[in-house]
């Protein structure tokens, strides 16, 4: 990638038209990243599942080869493009995910929880996380699922950690502490990173995922970070990364991870200066 002078981080969360609710090809996102002067980009569309699970918001299994071809086309223009995937975690997904993720040459696997309920028999019946409002049980269950996702060892990065707040719902501070800290401990133990996701600044909550409080707790545990815009159209690549990077710095971060073949290496937040001692080793994965 041809680098322009920048203080912005790489964008490790972007989508494509294949997920049915985004626009554009990988190449469109890669060109947008170059226009913004970002130091890198990962294409991380919503991965398929053979189960009857939320087919409305993801590529079909037989579209996955199209996805690979789209990333390959982008790589012909920019060999540094990462092949990523946003893979959902839900109860019962492990045996599929373990085999499927290992079968493809991913550089980066985002682990996401978008729903609290197990897959229904019929497609499209799931209620999104953020439709639960301020129900305490929803936040509690969510962080328990995050902990299980970490324990699974199948994913590299926890995406949009507190996305339940999307429509403005918030737990009590004391509840957040009780439920989030054990989840963060499990993330740290698993050697996972978390994503600083700027899409919350486009949503009703108008706040980066995760909140400054969660990010400070993550920093205390030396949990590494990456940045993502969650772009669903090319124009959103690098969305408000200046603010996201500023928040990370205010919470004590100076480094983010650079991924390749599912190994994270620390670099400065703007991706330009490899530095010495890692914040935490992210380790290799299956
Ligand atoms: Zn999406
Ligand atoms: Zn997501």
Q: Is the pLDDT of residue 248 over 80?
A: yes
What is the per-residue pLDDT for 130?
82
Which ligand has the nearest atom to the CA of 23? Answer: 1
Q: Which domain holds residue 131?
A: 17-268
0.85 exceeded by pTM: yes
Coil/strand/helix, residue 71 = helix
What is the rounded CA–CA span in Å between residue 12 and residue 157? 10
Query: Tell me, what CATH number does 127's domain have?
Result: 3.20.20.140
Residue 6 within a domain: no
Residue 184 within a domain: yes
Residue 54 within a domain: yes
Residue 283 within a domain: no
Residue 144 within a domain: yes
> How many structural domains does the chain have?
1
Q: Is the pLDDT of residue 81 over 60?
A: yes
Residue 188 within a domain: yes
The pLDDT tens digits for 106-135 are: 999 999 999 988 766 555 567 888 877 778
At residue 241's C-alpha, the angle toward residues 284 and 258, to 5°, is 20
What is the per-residue pLDDT for 6?
56
The neighbouring-strand residues paired with 128 are: 115
Residue 12 within a domain: no
Residue 5 within a domain: no
What is the rounded CA–CA span in Å between residue 211 and residue 231? 19
Q: Separation of 219 CA from ligand 2 center, angstroms? A: 22
What is the rounded CA–CA span in Å between residue 207 and residue 256? 20
Q: Separation of 92 CA from ligand 1 center, angstroms? A: 21
């Amino acid at each position: 990638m041809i680098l322009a002078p920048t203080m912005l981080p790489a964008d490790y969360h972007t989508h494509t038209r294949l997920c049915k609710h985004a626009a554009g090809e990988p190449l469109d996102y890669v060109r947008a990243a170059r226009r913004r002067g970002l130091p890198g980009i990962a294409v991380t569309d919503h991965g398929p599942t053979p189960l009857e699970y939320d087919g409305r918001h993801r590529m079909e299994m037989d579209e996955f080869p199209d996805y690979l071809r789209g990333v390959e086309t982008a790589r012909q223009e920019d060999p540094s493009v990462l092949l990523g995937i946003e893979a959902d975690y839900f109860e019962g997904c492990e045996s599929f995910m373990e085999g499927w993720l290992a079968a493809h040459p991913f550089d980066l696997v985002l682990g996401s929880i978008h729903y609290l309920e197990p897959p229904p028999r019929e497609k499209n019946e799931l209620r999104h996380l953020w439709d639960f409002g301020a129900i305490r049980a929803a936040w509690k269950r969510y962080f328990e699922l995050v902990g299980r996702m970490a324990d699974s060892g199948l994913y590299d990065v926890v995406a949009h950690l507190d996305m339940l707040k999307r429509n403005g719902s918030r737990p009590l501070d004391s509840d957040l502490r009780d439920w989030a800290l054990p989840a963060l401990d499990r993330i740290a133990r698993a050697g996972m990173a978390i994503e600083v996701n700027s899409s919350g600044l486009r949503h009703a909550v108008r706040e980066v995922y995760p909140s400054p409080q969660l990010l400070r707790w993550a920093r205390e545990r030396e949990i590494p970070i990456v940045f993502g815009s969650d772009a669903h159209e090319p124009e959103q690549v690098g969305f408000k990364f200046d603010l996201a990077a500023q928040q990370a710095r205010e919470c004590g971060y100076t480094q983010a991870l650079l991924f390749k073949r599912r190994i994270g290496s620390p670099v400065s937040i703007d991706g330009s200066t490899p530095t010495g001692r890692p914040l935490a080793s992210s380790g290799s994965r299956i």
